[in-house]
Chains A and B, each alone.
Chain A
Amino acid sequence: GQQLNQSPQSMFIQEGEDVSMNCTSSSIFNTWLWYKQDPGEGPVLLIALYKAGELTSNGRLTAQFGITRKDSFLNISASIPSDVGIYFCAGQLLNNDMRFGAGTRLTVKP
């Protein structure tokens, strides 16, 4: 169906390192979004992508909407301890339904 495969499931990195995570699907999505969730909180939107091929940055974060509209990646450069959390990709369908990936749990060691 319209499931999203997000990888990796978890990452343990050193402060200052760059991070890359991605989502793929067998279905086409009209919008890709990346969220961050801190413990005990709801997800917070980081970046939204609206067009195939679009590359968007938000500070140290960069995300791209794949040309096939079936994938997206998120990069975090020069990681800092407050980047710790769970990152979710989400794809939005034409009928406004949303599908979420299972999340990437990021740990940053100082």
Chain B
Amino acid sequence: NAGVTQTPKFQVLKTGQSMTLQCAQDMNHNSMYWYRQDPGMGLRLIYYSASEGTTDKGEVPNGYNVSRLNKREFSLRLESAAPSQTSVYFCASSGTSGVGDTQYFGPGTRLTVL
């Protein structure tokens, strides 16, 4: 099992460019999440998908869109990147969206927006 995989590992964008971050899990988990982590701060939830076909906003959704393509894959899209979106992005998955269900994290995508 690879667990949670993310691509790309690193990306540099110019302001206004768009891109999609990919995430896949092979644990047959129902729920998937996207977080961003900024220096000196904990992770902040951008969007999550409790099950295939559903998505919900988290704490900081502005400037992002998500797609739960199928049970395995959950992508995060930046339509018009801004320097404030420079961050490390983590995808996570859990068996269910139930309270206390363990979330497993991917290795992260380091995004720089110039």
* Contact pattern, A 28-56, Cβ under 8 Å of B = 1, otherwise 0: 00110100000011111100101000000
Q: Interface SS of chain B: helix, strand, loop or mixed?
A: loop
Interface size on B, residues (CB 8 A): 26
Binding stretch for chain B, among A14-22, A67-75, A97-105: A97-105
Interface residue ranges, B against A (CB under 8 Å): 4, 31, 33, 40-45, 48, 50, 58-59, 90, 92, 97-100, 102-108
CA distance A109 to B44 in the complex (A): 31
Residue of B nearest to A93 (CB): B99
Contact A96 B50 (CB under 8 A): yes
Provide 23 A-B residue pairs closer than 8 Å at the C-beta atoms, listed in order of the A residue: A4-B42, A6-B42, A30-B100, A31-B99, A31-B100, A33-B100, A42-B105, A42-B108, A43-B43, A45-B104, A48-B102, A88-B42, A88-B43, A90-B43, A92-B99, A96-B99, A97-B45, A97-B48, A98-B43, A98-B45, A98-B103, A100-B43, A102-B41
Q: Residues of A at under 8 Å CB distance from B?
A: 4, 6, 30-31, 33, 40-45, 48, 50, 88, 90, 92, 94, 96-103
